[in-house]
Amino acid sequence: MNAHDSERIKGMLESLGLGEATAPEEADVVVFNTCTIREKPDTRLAAYLGNAGALKRERPDMVVAVGGCYAEAQRERIFQLYPFVDVAFGPGSIPHLGDWIAAGGFAVGRGRFGTHEHFAADLPMHGERRFQAWVQVSMGCNSACAYCIVPAVRGREQSRRPGEIVAEATRLAESGVREITLLGQNVNSWGRDLLPDLRTEFGELLRACDAVPGVERIRFTSPHPKDFRAPVVAAMRECASVCEHVHLPAQSGSSRILKSMRRTYDRSRYLQLVDTLRDAVPDLALGTDLIVGFPGETDDDFEATLSLVGEVRFDSAFTFIYSPRAGTEAASLPNPVPEAVKHERLESLVELVQRIAAARNAERVGRVEEVLVEGPSRTDAALLRGRTRRNTTVNFAGPAVAGDLVEVLIEESTSTTLRGRVATLVAV
């Protein structure tokens, strides 16, 4: 969502006549779009802002803008902490930056708006990828996961109207986009807050996007297991363009920890959902998010996370060390896990995740997979790079250009990528 917002910030600045500078030292306006989900991005921002402050001492006319979730979380303190910041805005008030610059910037003084009123999706877009695009379907989140800062910084969930989403998907397809990723903090609870005459659910939205000519692949992220209901599973099964990949954050394998995280499902319900999805969608790839070191997590709880990973055999997983966020429920829970234990747990979890991912990818060798070509390989300029419908990166040889859908014979694998060569061209 943060990357999507950055594309919109860029698009908005371009519409005001501001192009991208080649280096921060040459920029007239420097914009930081921040994340505050864990402490690490906060620390990195402090270093970046330190550099910006030094630049600004040399060039006082340079504008420094700080947007996004960190700005929202620190709205009372940001100008105090960083006196050289000219303008700040939360994730729901990106247009504020444009208004401020258009109104003459310094002439109107410093300020920020903290509202959650604007869909970034309504702003002009600067697409980094010509054949793939994000489509924001909702903003905010009504869940109350004990560790998570998102509801505090992005506000209550608001769904975008279905007509606007489908119109955007149609415009994108007409401009050559072949793959869309529907985005929401809790993407599959989309639609519940719409007015009664518009009320619908996420499965219907998948079907409507599937019907858009030219949209050949649909992805969505991230669904909450508690909201993954039958109509969404049915739509996944029946819509040809919905990819065989679900990123389904589990967070923990221990029902006790899931309860204190307020995830509202337990281990067995999560496993049931995995079975339902695998029955409905043959050859489904599953990804997940996992947190280690949540307050009170015992060795047994952590073992339960390891055994969940072993039981599901995820194709990929993002693994995080629990990071206390000020103002969240978990930040005041007792029994913090010592740092050293957190790191040990992360290490053994990553080792297991990689071992399983490597085995899952090895199972693809010898198969032919449909790949959307993204461009040259990052590691070998003689090869191309793309993604399978199951969302695995493939480096491959063969005649094709970015935007092609090609059939690639998989010949080798690692825990994160596949390698192969073009078998046939599917469609151009």
- Rounded distance between C-alpha atoms, residue 284 and residue 388, angstroms: 12
CB of 114 to ligand 5AD, least distance (A): 21
**Is residue 289 near ligand 5AD by the rule CB under 6 A?**
yes
CB of 286 to ligand 5AD, least distance (A): 14
CB of 361 to ligand 5AD, least distance (A): 23
Under 8 Å between Cβ of 17 and 131: no
- Rounded distance between C-alpha atoms, residue 137 and residue 116, angstroms: 15
Under 8 Å between Cβ of 188 and 232: yes
Under 8 Å between Cβ of 385 and 375: yes
Residue (164 or 289) nearer to ligand 5AD, CB: 289
Residue (95 or 223) nearer to ligand SF4, CB: 223
CB of 3 to ligand 5AD, least distance (A): 13
CB of 92 to ligand SF4, least distance (A): 14
Under 8 Å between Cβ of 29 and 101: yes
Q: What is the signed CA dihedral for 315, 396, 169, 137, rounded to 10 degrees?
A: 30
Q: How many alpha carbons lie under 13 Å from residue 183 in its C-beta half-sphere?
A: 20
Question: For ligand 5AD, which stretch binds (CB under 6 A), given 19-27, 45-53, 123-131, 315-323?
Answer: 315-323
Q: Which of 4, 38, 130, 259 binds ligand 5AD (CB under 6 A)?
A: 38
**Is residue 322 near ligand 5AD by the rule CB under 6 A?**
yes
Quick check: bond before 222 cis, omega within 30?
yes
- Rounded distance between C-alpha atoms, residue 316 and residue 305, angstroms: 15
Residue (287 or 386) nearer to ligand 5AD, CB: 287
- Rounded distance between C-alpha atoms, residue 65 and residue 83, angstroms: 12
Which two three-digit tokens encode residue 85? Answer: 């910041």
Residue 143 binds: one of ligand SF4, ligand 5AD, none (C-beta under 5 to 8 A by kind) = ligand SF4
Residue (201 or 374) nearer to ligand SF4, CB: 201
**Is residue 260 near ligand 5AD by the rule CB under 6 A?**
no
Q: Which of 147, 190, 202, 228 binds ligand 5AD (CB under 6 A)?
A: 147
Q: How many alpha carbons lie under 13 Å from residue 373 in its C-beta half-sphere?
A: 24
Question: For ligand 5AD, which stretch binds (CB under 6 A), given 80-88, 129-137, 320-328, 363-371?
Answer: 320-328
Binding site for ligand SF4 (CB under 6 A): 141, 143, 145, 148, 150-151, 185-186, 224
CB of 288 to ligand 5AD, least distance (A): 9
CB of 37 to ligand 5AD, least distance (A): 5
- Rounded distance between C-alpha atoms, residue 290 and residue 280, angstroms: 24
Residues 6+ apart with CB under 8 A from 40: 323
**Is residue 287 near ligand 5AD by the rule CB under 6 A?**
no
